[in-house]
Amino acid sequence: MTAAIEVRDLHKYFGENEVLKGIDFTVEQGQVVCVIGPSGSGKSTLLRCVNRLEEPTSGVVLIEGEDITDPEVDLNKVRSRIGMVFQSFNLFPHMTVLENLCIAQKRAKKRSKAEAEQVARANLEKVGLSDKVDAYPAHLSGGQQQRVAIARALSMDPDMMLFDEPTSALDPELVGDVLDVMRRLAGEGMTMMVVTHEMGFAREVGDKLVFMDGGVIVEEGVPREVLTNPQHVRTQQFLSKVL
Amino acid sequence: MKRSTKRRLRHGALYALLLGAVAAIALLADWKAIQTNFLDKDVLASIWPEIVTEGARNTVVYTAIAFVGGLVLALALALMKLSPVAPYRWIATAYIEFFRGLPVLIVIIAFAFAVPIAFGSTLPGGSRGAAVIALIAVSAAYMAETLRAGIQAVPKGQIEAARSLGMSETRTLVSVVLPQAVRIVIPPLTNEFVLLLKDTSLIQVAGVGLGESELTNFASDNLNITSNGTPLLAAAILYLIITLPLTRVVAYLERRTQKAR
């Protein structure tokens, strides 16, 4: 089976600064891969290279076998297959929850209004926010906004989901609801790449844990093993600080 | 002395000062002269209702055309200024700097008189049309900078979210960036609108035909005919009647926007 995401020898420079120094990385279909590491380790940049929100300097990114670094590729098509959830939610503040979920379905996927709304309502139900259909994002808590953002990404029927520190901007008591939604999503077999600081989630839900530092993958493996018995000295240092 | 007593005394003194100033103006003013020169009923009757049906109406029409035209041109300029293609940025910058640096009066004269000589043909709408086009050209330069700032004030995450959902660059601009930018720029654009409304009074230097006068032109013509200041006062009141409700409308729009923030 082709891997959902395959990254080969990925380099990324910001000016003179090399933030990704040759990353090789795969996410198999249906796998949940968690990426951890100190800030500035390049983990978010790696995630953002997967749907080319960041332009890789060199290297190859294959999405379900298709090289998306090829300039000929239809990036909008590729992106509508990859759901993305941001640390800061990024809901559209001038639209209601329902409009947030429908706009890309209608404009990028060319779905009818009726179909888009049906899909949107089903996904809101999934994240437990059916009653917020007509609310504006400003009237929702951070946790609710993030769940709406997840529902928005899911409404495009993506083959995989990218999460960029989805709970880092949340008050501690709101983190649980968002993680519950992600856990359920993983249970349904969604392919997921999650940049996170939630070690508990990584241990419990993750199929693979990747530790990054200084723009390279230092260590990867089964989450429980990496977390309890890290092989590399830098992993040990990082984990001793966060656990 | 107690603190509250002190404050009451200070407030009392301020009120007394204000009353004194008002009384002084009322006493010093020559009310008789004011009445005959600015509040003449017969003069008012001679310009009514033309001061509204011609003067105020034309002012509103010229302003509306210049504002809408200016806004469209300004949007194009703002997008050019944000373009990844350098020559577009240069052209937009040059345009904005040029028209912001010149007095409106000179631009109107240039469009009405210099352009027809230089190109051997008049602009559409005659000299009045040329003057309105001049106002479009100038207001666009100001509004372009306002719009650019508004577009740039939309957080980058909004664009990333839209693009990550597979929306094209144009679609993102139309559905996500511009609606939010417009909300940001409504207050400064109202400012532009009021300035433009007042600048329509300069159109008269281009020379306008019968029935084409805007408020100031109409008032000053009638000032000359009647040798009486009543038309000026009437025009001033009409300007305020047009501009004052605007601030109400903007306050309402801002309140409505707050709901979605």
Contact call for B166 and A77, based on CB within 8 A: yes
Domains of chain B are 38-260 (1.10.3720.10)
DSSP 8-state class, residue B60: H
| Cα–Cα distance measured from residue B130 to residue B135, given in angstroms and rounded to the nearest whole number | 9
**Residue written as tokens 């004052």?**
B244
A71 interfacial to chain B (CB closer than 8 Å)? no
- Among A90, A109, A138, the residue with its CB nearest the CB of B160 is A90
Residue A91 with chain B: CB contacts under 8 Å: 161
Structure tokens at B241: 């009647």
The ipTM assigned to this model is 0.94
pLDDT-derived band of residue B179, with 50, 70 and 90 as boundaries?
very high
Q: What is the pLDDT of residue B251?
A: 82
pLDDT tens digits for B135-147? 999 999 999 999 9
Q: What is the pLDDT of residue A27?
A: 96
pLDDT-derived band of residue B121, with 50, 70 and 90 as boundaries?
confident
**Candidates A90, A98, A134, partner chain B, best to mutate (most B CBs within 10 A):** A90
Structure tokens at B173: 């601009």
Contact call for A86 and B161, based on CB within 8 A: yes
**Candidates B154, B156, B165, B256, partner chain A, best to mutate (most A CBs within 10 A):** B165
pLDDT tens digits for A180-211? 999 999 999 999 999 999 999 999 999 999 99
| Cα–Cα distance measured from residue B51 to residue B46, given in angstroms and rounded to the nearest whole number | 10
For A162, name the nearest residue in chain B, comparing CA atoms only.
B164
Q: CB pairs below 8 Å between A and B: how many?
A: 72
The alpha-carbon gap from A80 to the nearest alpha carbon of chain B, in Å, equals 5
pLDDT tens digits for A79-101? 999 999 999 999 999 999 999 99
- HEC-encoded secondary structure of chain A: CCCCEEEEEEEEEECCEEEEEEEEEEECCCCEEEEECCCCCCHHHHHHHHCCCCCCCEEEEEECCEECCCCCCCHHHHHHCEEEECCCCCCCCCCCHHHHHHHHHHHCCCCCHHHHHHHHHHHHHHCCCHHHCCCCHHHCCHHHHHHHHHHHHHCCCCCEEEEECCCCCCCHHHHHHHHHHHHHHHHCCCEEEEECCCHHHHHHHCCEEEEEECCEEEEEECHHHHHHCCCCHHHHHHHHHHC
Contact call for B166 and A53, based on CB within 8 A: no
pLDDT at A223 over 90: yes
Q: What is the pLDDT of residue B124?
A: 75
pLDDT tens digits for A33-44? 999 999 999 999
- Among B157, B166, B183, the residue with its CB nearest the CB of A94 is B183
pLDDT tens digits for B38-52? 888 888 888 888 888
A84 interfacial to chain B (CB closer than 8 Å)? yes
Contact call for B259 and A88, based on CB within 8 A: no
Q: What is the pLDDT of residue B209?
A: 81
User: Can you tell me the mean pLDDT for B111-117?
Assistant: 86
Least confident of A26-30, A137-141, B145-149, B251-255: B251-255
Least confident of A178-187, B33-42, B118-127, B236-245: B118-127
pLDDT-derived band of residue A55, with 50, 70 and 90 as boundaries?
very high
pLDDT-derived band of residue B160, with 50, 70 and 90 as boundaries?
very high
Contact call for A138 and B165, based on CB within 8 A: no
pLDDT at B207 over 90: no
Nearest 5 degrees, angle CA A73-CA A54-CA A3? Answer: 60
B183 interfacial to chain A (CB closer than 8 Å)? yes
The alpha-carbon gap from B78 to the nearest alpha carbon of chain A, in Å, equals 22
Q: pLDDT exceeding 70 applies to what percent of chain B?
A: 98
Q: What is the pLDDT of residue B210?
A: 81
Q: What is the pLDDT of residue B259?
A: 61
Residue B176 with chain A: CB contacts under 8 Å: 92, 103
Residue B166 with chain A: CB contacts under 8 Å: 76-80, 104, 108-109, 156
pLDDT at B260 over 70: no
Domains of chain A are 3-240 (3.40.50.300)
List, edge to edge, every strand of the sheet that includes A58-63: A17-27, A5-14, A58-63, A66-67
Q: What is the pLDDT of residue B126?
A: 81
Contact call for A80 and B165, based on CB within 8 A: yes
Q: What is the pLDDT of residue A184?
A: 96
Q: What is the pLDDT of residue B212?
A: 86
pLDDT-derived band of residue B84, with 50, 70 and 90 as boundaries?
very high
Contact call for B260 and A93, based on CB within 8 A: yes
What's the mean pLDDT when you consider all of chain B?
91
Contact call for A86 and B260, based on CB within 8 A: no
